[in-house]
Structure 1
Amino acid sequence: MIHFEREVTDPIFIHEMLQLFHHVNVGMIDEDGYPYVVPLNFGYELKDEKLYVYVHFMKRGHKLDLMRKNPKVCLEFSAFHDFPDCKYKGRYHDYRSVIAKGVIRIIDANDDYTTFEKGYNLLYTCNQREIVPLQSRKTIPPMYIGEIVCDMKNVTAKSEFPIRTKEDVPFLDVHSLPHDETPFDISDLLLKKKSHI
């Protein structure tokens, strides 16, 4: 990563970042060799050094065909704040992004109800919605849940503004802050990087 000070590696911070995002872009390999990317709502959990992402889709369609042929996927989560009229710390924008590579497993409620239910319920955590449990429905929706498992070594995250604590993860309202064009002090991050070389 060229700007090492923008890299986010702490799983706690990545967890906080994932709560900011409204959807995930799922990239697959199409039959013509080009990437095929679709936006989906998602749920997730971090456990055992892995990121588990849950998505849902109908029981037929192009993306389902591609997932069955090649279960390797790339996930992209991002949020971008632009403030061209209010320069802050020498910047005109701020962003958070997470990229993850993993393998998707297509889950039918009839084959693995437990994982289907967990994934279905977690989908409601996207955009901080209140969970409407699957058990409360009269019938199981005619869809699949996709469980994408990503080793944390295949998860990378970035932030335009340096993140040192959980409180640094949410976007700042730069319009409400005093005018400040002094660049971020990253001397501590430089020392940390040197100590790991």
Structure 2
Amino acid sequence: MIHYEREVKEPELISAMLDEMDHVHIGMFDEDGYPYVVPLNFGYEIKDNKLYIYTHFSKRGHKLELLRKNSKVCAQFSIFNDFPDRPYKKHRHDYRSVIAKGKMNIIDYKEDSETYIHGYNLLYTCNHREIVPLESRKVIPPMYIGMIICEMDQVTAKSEFPLRKVEDVPFVNVYDMPFDETPFDISDIIEKRRKGL
């Protein structure tokens, strides 16, 4: 990573970043040699040094055909805050991004109802929606749950503004801040990254 001082490694910060995201782009291998990328809603959890990403999709279609041939995927999340007319600390924009590589497992309710229900319920965390438990529905939706398992060393995250704690993750409203042209002091972050932490 060129701007290693912008890299975010701490799982609690990555989790807070994902809480701010409202969709994920999933990249798959297409048969014509080009990537095939689709936007989806998602749920997630980080446990046992792995990022689990949950999505859902129809039981037929191009996406499913590709995943059955090659389950390796890349998940990309991002949000961007632009303020070109109000520079703040020598910046005119801010962003958060997370990229994760892993394999998509296709979960059918009939084969693994526990994982299916868990993944389905987590989908509601996207956009901060209230969870409506799947068990409360009269009919199980005719769809698959996709579960991507990513080792944390296959997850990279970046932020334009420095992040030291979870409270730093939401965007700053620069229009509410006093005018400030002093660059961020990131010497501690640079030192931490140089030490490989």
Using structure 1 for the length normalisation, give the TM-score.
Answer: 0.98
SS in 2 for 1:125: helix
- Which amino acid is the alignment partner of residue 25 of structure 2? N
Q: 1:59 to 1:195 in 2, by over 3 A?
A: closer
The residue that corresponds to 2:24 in the other structure is: 24
- Which amino acid is the alignment partner of residue 4 of structure 1? Y
- What is the Cα deviation at residue 3 of structure 1? 1.2
The residue that corresponds to 1:12 in the other structure is: 12
Instruction: Give the root-mean-square deviation of aligned CA atoms.
Output: 1.1
- What is the Cα deviation at residue 193 of structure 1? 3.4
CA distance in 2, matches of 1:141, 1:165: 39
CA distance in 2, matches of 1:163, 1:41: 25
Identity %: 66
Superposed, 1:66-77 pairs within 5 Å as 66-77=66-77
- What is the Cα deviation at residue 195 of structure 1? 3.7
Superposed, 1:7-156 pairs within 5 Å as 7-156=7-156
CA distance in 2, matches of 1:98, 1:165: 17
- Which amino acid is the alignment partner of residue 129 of structure 2? R
CA distance in 2, matches of 1:159, 1:148: 23
The residue that corresponds to 2:162 in the other structure is: 162
- What is the Cα deviation at residue 175 of structure 1? 0.5
CA distance in 2, matches of 1:22, 1:70: 26
- Structure 2: which 5+ runs fail to align? none
- What is the Cα deviation at residue 196 of structure 1? 4.2
Count of residues in Structure 1 that have an aligned counterpart in Structure 2? 197
- Structure 1: which 5+ runs fail to align? none
CA distance in 2, matches of 1:93, 1:75: 23
CA distance in 2, matches of 1:135, 1:186: 48
Deviation per CA, 1:96-122: give whole Å up to 9, x if none: 000000000101101100000000000
- The range that moved more, 12-21 or 182-191, is 182-191
Using structure 2 for the length normalisation, give the TM-score.
Answer: 0.98
- The range that moved more, 8-17 or 186-195, is 186-195
Deviation per CA, 1:34-56: give whole Å up to 9, x if none: 00000000000000000000000
Deviation per CA, 1:141-189: give whole Å up to 9, x if none: 0000001000000000000001111111110000100001111111112
SS in 1 for 2:88: coil
SS in 1 for 2:192: helix
- Which amino acid is the alignment partner of residue 64 of structure 2? L
